[in-house]
């Protein structure tokens, strides 16, 4: 993330391989957060 912030602040993009890795990590976190939320909702509904 620090490389991303540095690039953003300097108006530069990450190299494609680093951007792809970041995109993969963001997608994994989004899926995990969605799963956690669904589990909490299911617990509250039970």
pLDDT score at 18: 94
Are 14 and 22 spatial neighbours (Cβ–Cβ below 8 Å)? yes
- Write out the chain's pLDDT in tens, 46 residues: 888 898 889 999 999 999 999 999 999 999 999 999 999 999 998 8
What would you measure as the largest C-alpha separation in the chain, in angstroms?
50
pLDDT score at 12: 94
What's the pTM?
0.76
The span from the CA of 29 to the CA of 24, in Å, is 9
Domain boundaries, the chain: 16-46
Q: Which residue has the tokens 């540095």?
A: 6
Measured distance between the N- and C-terminal CA atoms of the chain, rounded to whole angstroms: 38
């Amino acid at each position: 993330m620090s490389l991303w912030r540095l690039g953003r602040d300097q108006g530069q993009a990450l190299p494609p391989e680093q951007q792809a890795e970041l995109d993969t990590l963001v997608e994994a976190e989004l899926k995990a957060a969605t799963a956690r939320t669904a589990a909490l909702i299911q617990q509250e509904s039970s």
